[in-house]
Amino acid sequence: MTELLQKVRVIDPVSEIDELLDVLIADGDIQAVASHISDISSDTKIRDCQGLVLGPGLVDLYSHSGEPGFEERETLLSFLQSAAAGGFTRVSILPDTSPVIDHPALVAQLRQRSRAAEDSFSPLLPCSPAPLLHIWGAITLDVAGKQMTELADLASAGVVGFTDGKPLENLALVRGVLEYLQPLGKPVAFWPSDRQLTANGVMREGSDALRFGLPPIPASAETTAIAAMLELVATIGTPVHIMRVSTARSVELIASAKAAGLPITASTTWMHLLLDTKAVKSYHTSLHLDPPLGNSRDVAALRAGVRAGVIDAIAIDHTPYSYEEKVQAFAEAPPGAIGLELALPLLWQYLVETEEFTALELWRALSTSPAKCLGQKVSAIVPHQQAELTLFDPQQTWKVERKSLYTLSQNTPWLGQQLKGHVVQTWC
């Protein structure tokens, strides 16, 4: 099939362009990109794309799949369909399934399940084929986090990298992991958080926590853990990705470390860029996140960090939970929210349309930069490249409700609300 996208706004962080162009795509390849394309075959499908945005396919660094073990929350099929509907062409799942992905046989089983899910992909989704699924391998075997997995075996099995997706407070183990991983050439991601300082807290320490009567979490629960991690990286030299950055001081520490030449990358999540502690006054359990939403200074620092490249990427950290799991008191509900289908529309609406971010800055943080954090590349939107693209309509409105979502879960504070911005198509 050959189609011509006419007058589409091409946003390409690789080529650093943001302009109106014609793009000719044939059999999954980009054939031509120009200000005007007229030399086309008679069977070419012509699409008027005025007002639409075309960029590289979005890449998610880390999210949670329910399958295996928690299929009532999310199956691999619903996860991949949700990702495609949100504009993602590559997604990476954390290993905290049941069983945990800590053995090559489990990686193989998950790949087999994902192929079965791709075969059942919804024909209603305008994407071809399903997003590419990457699998993080677990760092530790046991719940206590004291025994290292067979990292080399998992690397040979094709995991994208290593993380537990949970805090590792045994610094001797972390040091051993960094030393062991040096020759393997795979990304390793850590979520620095001191659980003793976190204690039973559920929201960021400050006046809002006092006002809402919720147990606080000090910013130092994150920053002290990041400082310790940076010291280990400085000593050993193994590249590290720092997940779920949520405080202004964390951004400062990471900026200083990068300026000193430490081999680190970092990410924050999309909700930490949009909301602060004041939103928690609704006590909506989908605002119970871990790490918690920051204060207004944290949000401003995170946004500035993403724009400056101190924070390399925006992760979705899609965390589905069933209705029953989330219908509890705020402090008792498990932390996390869905986001694969919501992130791009909301980030575009509140960051790009307000002109706080340029379109290139946002798209880079959602596509090329997360790919780099995974040790991957994203091709420029130029002729003779495979089409890995997302077509987005920033003006299309839709309502967030059960029938409009592909994910099985509904744990989002935007449920029932009207959003502006919707993905039209992806090419994978």
Query: Residue 4: inside a domain, yes or no?
Result: no
Residue closest to 292 by CA, chosen among 226, 209, 188: 209
Query: Residue 342: inside a domain, yes or no?
Result: yes
Residue closest to 314 by CA, chosen among 51, 65, 87, 66: 87
Query: Residue 109: inside a domain, yes or no?
Result: yes
Residue 240's domain spans which residues?
Answer: 56-380+395-419
Give burial (CB, 10 Å; 0-12/13-18/19+) of 124.
Answer: exposed
User: Could you say which DSSP state residue 44 is in?
Assistant: P
Is 298 one of the annotated active-site residues of the chain? no
pLDDT tens string for the chain (428 positions)?
Answer: 899 999 999 999 999 999 999 999 999 999 999 999 998 888 999 999 999 999 999 999 999 999 999 999 999 999 999 999 999 999 999 999 999 999 999 999 999 999 999 988 888 888 778 999 999 999 998 655 678 999 999 999 999 999 999 999 899 999 999 999 999 999 999 999 999 999 999 999 999 999 999 999 999 999 999 999 999 999 999 999 999 999 999 999 999 999 999 999 999 999 999 999 999 999 999 999 999 999 999 999 999 999 999 999 999 999 999 999 999 999 999 999 999 999 999 999 999 999 999 999 999 999 999 999 999 999 999 999 999 999 999 999 999 999 999 999 999 999 999 999 999 999 98
How many structural domains are present in the chain?
Answer: 1
> pTM of this prediction?
0.97
Query: Residue 153: inside a domain, yes or no?
Result: yes
Distance in angstroms (rounded) separating the CA atoms of residues 336 and 316: 11
Residue closest to 52 by CA, chosen among 419, 388, 427, 395: 395
> Residue 207 maps to which CATH number?
3.20.20.140
Query: Residue 88: inside a domain, yes or no?
Result: yes
Q: How far apart are the first and last CA of the chain?
A: 15
Q: What DSSP letter does each residue of 306-334 carry, written as one string?
A: HHHTSS-EEE-------HHHHSS-TTTSP
Query: Residue 17: inside a domain, yes or no?
Result: no
Query: Residue 387: inside a domain, yes or no?
Result: no
Which of 102, 290, 298, 317 is the catalytic position? 317
Query: Residue 8: inside a domain, yes or no?
Result: no
Residue closest to 217 by CA, chosen among 272, 271, 290, 167: 290
